[in-house]
Amino acid sequence: MALAGVAVWTGQIALAPSAPAATGEHYSDVADAFHSQALKPLPETLNLDPSKVALGQRLFNDPRLSADDTVACSTCHNLAMGGADRQARSRGIGGREGEVNTPTVFNSAFSFAHFWDGRAASLEDQVDGPLHHPCEMGSNWREVIPKLEADPEYFASFKMVYPGGITADNVKDAIATFERSLITPNSRFDRFLRGEVNALSSEEQSGYQMFKSYGCVACHQGVNIGGNMFQTFGVVGDYFNDRGEVGDADLGRFNV
pLDDT in tens, 185-211: 999 999 999 999 999 999 999 999 999
Alpha carbon distance 89, 136 (integer Å): 11
Partners of 77 in beta bridges: none
Partners of 97 in beta bridges: 91
| Predicted model pTM | 0.80
Partners of 91 in beta bridges: 97
| pLDDT for res 71 | 98
pLDDT in tens, 59-92: 999 999 999 999 999 999 999 999 999 998 899 9
pLDDT in tens, 87-145: 988 999 999 999 888 999 999 999 999 998 889 999 999 999 999 999 999 999 999 99
205-227 mean pLDDT: 91
| pLDDT for res 26 | 39
Alpha carbon distance 201, 216 (integer Å): 20
pLDDT in tens, 104-118: 999 999 999 999 888
Residue 80 Cα distances to 5, 103, 165, 178, 255, angstroms: 9, 14, 31, 16, 27
Check pLDDT > 80 for residue 25: no
Domains and CATH numbers, the chain: 2-15+29-46+184-231 (1.10.760.10), 50-180 (1.10.760.10)
DSSP letter string over 87-99? -SS-B-GGG-B-S
Tell me the catalytic residues. Answer: 136
φ/ψ (deg, to 5) at 219:
-105, -40
Per-position b or e across 217-250, b if 16+ CB within 10 A of its CB: beebbbbbbbbeeeeeeeeeeeeeeeeeeeeeee
